[in-house]
Chains A and B, each alone.
Chain A
């Protein structure tokens, strides 16, 4: 009896260990074949979730029909996206073939060896396709994506923060759409006195920093001096932080915990008469199915001091260095960024592509009323710094702007603190 009990216990222990061994075997098999779908190629792309991702998922079926290559999209929240990409790319899991990355992430990705250079692929017409036309890409964006003389990603989705206002609500309040800092503050105050205010993405984070630097640059301010050294404590920068502080006092309730998504929702549901949002989300504002304010909105560059200035942010497709199908992945990237597909996406959701020929396409301008506002913002525009220590600077500025917004801290003191902490990192 004891022997049989012992035998049963040993058998149960073996069964317990069996799944561990079998998982390893099937993982090895998967690594050899590259996909879980036998001989057919399946690509996995990583990108930011949202309306644009949904529209792109629909367009991808076309690619599948044309090429027989299946595509699976891993679309996740912005705040988790870089972390998830970094974890997979650094672990060389082969989980992703194509990654959608922001321009500020690219230097880090390239230096860590996460992405493949694309120059050889670009020259191969069988992969790039006839509709590719490399010179049609915005040359600034190609230049930013070219690191150490090699092209690492194809630019696609361009966006910039915009001022969005509800023409009807402003008219009802007897107000004109503002342009300058003074005008914006006056309009926001008038609305705040009536129980509303301006919707701001003032949550501690990069949205606030993107807006701040655009406004600082519109006032001839910047992060660095001519020699490229960190110089935050300048009159234009201090004035800009002060303006941000003043704007928060007349912001809608809740703004200090809002990112662009929440601001967009406030505009979409006619809660906010005016707000600072981002061009990539404007499609939802003009969607008659989802928005209460479709056709009622006006768009302009961010409030400026001297001249309009935009923060240029764009996303690009890069081929993962550990992709098991790099040629197919590049083929997909080239297809997604081709003129015809970019125009299709722009007509679908009003996205701004990196294709110069599309900026003045009449069909697109009619569909996306925010394009003139974007054009105004991008007349003078620049990205956030692409320095390897830029993420530290962004985080520190985000905390400083939040401290000014919620605690009423002194703008000059906050800038001095950041300068003192980070000056050595930008020598």
Chain B
């Protein structure tokens, strides 16, 4: 039982205020405005259309395509980030601590770069005429195979690579913190019993990292699902709408085509999809910690 409930309420008041004003009110506004047809700046002359925008979303081939693209991007980026982030964290644990700290700091540097700058950097890196990616691939004769940002399937993969480059350090840092809590004696005991590195990874490391990985999946997964800046900087949603995520589509509808009501609807549907995909994981995460 809390001894001073009023003091507790007073102390959490700033955080609650931020949640209400920065999250709940805009969400409510978005939900209400998604029931209208209006242009930005013309809110007072909005036409009430009720659920027409939502019906339109479900019948819009481009909206469904952008949902599929968003899911594909999230799956691809998240898988690669987990693989690389956890892998690097495990490898860093196996080298002398001094080197692990230096390399860890070095690998974390992409986190310091803003996403839009990452997009611009990789846009030039992927350029077939001027960029370093094609230059390196040409050493192995792969420059004609790699589609980069030009071919539809390859474009989404290339955008995911750029995103992975930027966000894997986050997974690395969190996984490293999780690994630090695993007692070294467990590995010593396993080694004495004849376990190899792979066995230790699968039977000791990953099971004990489950809670940490669940949190990483939720945080990075929701971020990847809402991806905007890196796609906007790299491809703008092209080529042929093959990298058109839900956020980019909402942006196009709201700011390029002045259909703000529909753009709000796309944003609400994005949130709904996020809840459907990640709510079970969040429930699992809270269930474990109680």
B14 A204 Cβ-Cβ under 8 A: no
Contacts of B130 in A (CB 8 A): 254, 265, 271
Known: A257-B127, A257-B150. A203 touches B238 (CB 8 A): yes
Task: Identify which of residues 235-267 in chain A touch chain B, using a CB-to-CB cut-off of 8 Å.
Answer: 252-254, 256-257, 262, 265-266
Known: A82-B255, A108-B258, A402-B241. A253 touches B40 (CB 8 A): no
A395 to B11, CA, bound (A): 50
Determine whether A291 belongs to the interface, using a CB cutoff of 8 Å to chain B.
Answer: no
Determine whether A205 belongs to the interface, using a CB cutoff of 8 Å to chain B.
Answer: yes
Minimum CB distance partner of B126 in chain A: A257
Task: Identify which of residues 193-239 in chain B touch chain A, using a CB-to-CB cut-off of 8 Å.
Answer: 232, 235-239
Determine whether B63 belongs to the interface, using a CB cutoff of 8 Å to chain A.
Answer: no
A253 B152 Cβ-Cβ under 8 A: no
Determine whether A45 belongs to the interface, using a CB cutoff of 8 Å to chain B.
Answer: no
B129 A406 Cβ-Cβ under 8 A: no
Interface size on B, residues (CB 8 A): 38
B152 A406 Cβ-Cβ under 8 A: yes
A13 B14 Cβ-Cβ under 8 A: yes
- Give the segment of A83-91, A119-127, A143-151 that binds chain B: A83-91
Determine whether A25 belongs to the interface, using a CB cutoff of 8 Å to chain B.
Answer: no
Contacts of B94 in A (CB 8 A): none
Contacts of B127 in A (CB 8 A): 254, 257, 262
Q: Mark A137-171, 1 if CB is under 8 A from B, else 0.
A: 00000000000000000000000000000000000
B11 A13 Cβ-Cβ under 8 A: yes
A9 B150 Cβ-Cβ under 8 A: no
Chain B nearest CB from A290 CB (Å) reads 16
Chain A nearest CB from B47 CB (Å) reads 15
Known: A254-B129, A403-B240. A17 touches B256 (CB 8 A): no
A399 B236 Cβ-Cβ under 8 A: no
Determine whether B169 belongs to the interface, using a CB cutoff of 8 Å to chain A.
Answer: no
Known: A112-B40, A113-B41. A203 touches B255 (CB 8 A): no
Determine whether A392 belongs to the interface, using a CB cutoff of 8 Å to chain B.
Answer: yes
Determine whether A372 belongs to the interface, using a CB cutoff of 8 Å to chain B.
Answer: no
A86 B41 Cβ-Cβ under 8 A: yes
Task: Identify which of residues 312-345 in chain A touch chain B, using a CB-to-CB cut-off of 8 Å.
Answer: none
Known: A204-B236, A399-B238. A13 touches B10 (CB 8 A): yes
A252 to B11, CA, bound (A): 62
Cross-interface CB contact of B240 among A108, A266, A399, cutoff 8 Å: A399
Cross-interface CB contact of A204 among B7, B134, B238, B251, cutoff 8 Å: B238
- Pairs A–B under 8 Å by Cβ, sample size 21: A79-B232, A86-B40, A87-B40, A89-B41, A108-B258, A112-B39, A203-B235, A203-B236, A204-B235, A204-B238, A205-B236, A253-B129, A254-B127, A254-B148, A254-B150, A262-B127, A391-B256, A399-B241, A403-B241, A406-B240, A407-B240
Chain B: residues with CB nearer than 8 A to chain A? 4, 7, 10-11, 13-14, 39-42, 123, 126-131, 134, 148-152, 232, 235-242, 251-252, 255-258
